[in-house]
Amino acid sequence: MQQSILTVEDDPAIRRGIVDALRFAGYNVFEAARGDMGREMALARSYDLLLLDLVLPGCSGLDILRAVRQARSAQPIIVLTARGEENDRVEGLRLGADDYVVKPFSVKELLARVEAVLRRSPERPLEVSLLQLPGAVCDFARSEVRFDDGERAELSQKEADLLRYLAANGGRAISRDEILLRVWEINPRGVSTRTIDMHVTRLREKLRDDPNEPRILMTVRGKGYMIAAETVSANGKQKS
């Protein structure tokens, strides 16, 4: 699956160089030239990595960093800084940036940093086609669950998308805000998360997962939901 990168940089020459290099490397790229536009895109769009200049018109990169960290705590972010901006660089790391690149930088260095951050990111999605569950297999290509007793349960597209995302992050608690951003692809600000709870309730019913003592879709109090890593495995390989 092609990964997406949002680049927020006001210098047109630098931005064009970054965008061209990333696209040549196979990434899908969104771009913004102003901080206010970048902040809006960073909170509303679904993407795998944010490349963020710290000195921007309209809204500072540090303000964007704060807002993104509040809305989606695990979002991978690399800040772009100029030589002599050590204080901003340190502040960016303190606010939760995963890495930084100092201008001027080479394409080779930038791509290496991007690949390293995406590789270690907890939000990096995995390709999951089959999901082995206790007594059943979920086939995402067919959007259905096949039970060992021969019964089947059909999943709606959003139910399948939600289950796939939880499976791709097995064992990690996923906040409702992150689910809204990554699965529904909408800005969670001011949006009711009741729809997520309803989808989880229906998924538990279709997966035969006891809501009083769930073994598959776990509720993590104060955080959100997660799929129990010890009870499932991706692509049809049964956990021992």
pLDDT digits (tens, 9 = 90+) for 86-108: 788 888 888 888 888 989 899 99
Average per-residue pLDDT for the chain: 86
Torsion angle of C-alpha atoms 56, 57, 58, 61, degrees rounded to 10: 10
The pLDDT assigned to 127 comes to 54
Q: What is the mean pLDDT of residues 177-204?
A: 82
Q: What is the mean pLDDT of residues 46-60?
A: 93
Domain boundary among 71, 101, 120: 120
- Are residues 112 and 11 located together in one domain of the fold? yes
Domain boundary among 99, 120, 141: 120
Residue 135's CATH number:
1.10.10.10
What would you report as the CA-atom Rg of the chain, rounded to the nearest whole angstrom? 20
- Are residues 100 and 178 located together in one domain of the fold? no
Residue 208 lies in a domain: yes
Residue 239 lies in a domain: no
- Are residues 62 and 148 located together in one domain of the fold? no
Residue 49 has pLDDT above 70, yes or no: yes
- Are residues 141 and 113 located together in one domain of the fold? no
Model pLDDT for residues 3-21, shown as the tens digit of each residue: 899 999 999 999 999 999 9
State how far the Cα of 97 lies from the Cα of 89, in Å rounded to an integer: 9
The pLDDT assigned to 60 comes to 94
Which residue pairs, CB below 8 angstroms and at least 24 apart, start in 8-12?
Answer: 8/32, 8/35, 8/38, 8/41, 8/42, 8/50, 8/51, 8/52, 8/53, 8/56, 8/61, 8/64, 9/33, 9/51, 9/53, 9/56, 9/80, 10/34, 10/35, 10/53, 10/55, 10/56, 10/57, 11/53
- Are residues 135 and 230 located together in one domain of the fold? yes
Q: 135 is written with which tokens? A: 């007594």
Say how many domains are in the chain.
2
Residue 92's CATH number:
3.40.50.2300
- Are residues 220 and 191 located together in one domain of the fold? yes
- Are residues 34 and 73 located together in one domain of the fold? yes
Model pLDDT for residues 146-157, shown as the tens digit of each residue: 999 999 999 998
Domain boundaries, position 33: 4-120
The pLDDT assigned to 20 comes to 96
Residue 136 lies in a domain: yes
Residues with Cβ within 8 Å of 70's Cβ and at least 6 positions away in sequence, in order, are none
Residue 240 has pLDDT above 50, yes or no: no
Q: What is the mean pLDDT of residues 72-98?
A: 83
Residue 125 has pLDDT above 60, yes or no: no
239: pLDDT confidence band, cut at 50, 70 and 90?
Answer: very low
The pLDDT assigned to 156 comes to 92
State how far the Cα of 115 lies from the Cα of 2, in Å rounded to an integer: 13
Q: At what angle do helices 12-24 and 107-120 cross, to 10 degrees?
A: 60
Domain boundary among 120, 153, 178: 120
- Are residues 11 and 101 located together in one domain of the fold? yes
What pTM was computed for the model? 0.54
- Are residues 163 and 226 located together in one domain of the fold? yes
The pLDDT assigned to 14 comes to 95
Please work out, in degrees rounded to the nearest 5, the angle formed at the alpha carbon of residue 113 by the alpha carbons of 108 and 115.
Answer: 95
State how far the Cα of 156 lies from the Cα of 188, in Å rounded to an integer: 22
Residue 205 lies in a domain: yes
State how far the Cα of 31 lies from the Cα of 37, in Å rounded to an integer: 9
Residue 204 has pLDDT above 90, yes or no: yes
Residue 110 has pLDDT above 90, yes or no: yes
Going from the C-alpha of 156 to that of each of 135, 143, 153, 165, 215, the distances in angstroms are 21, 7, 10, 14, 21
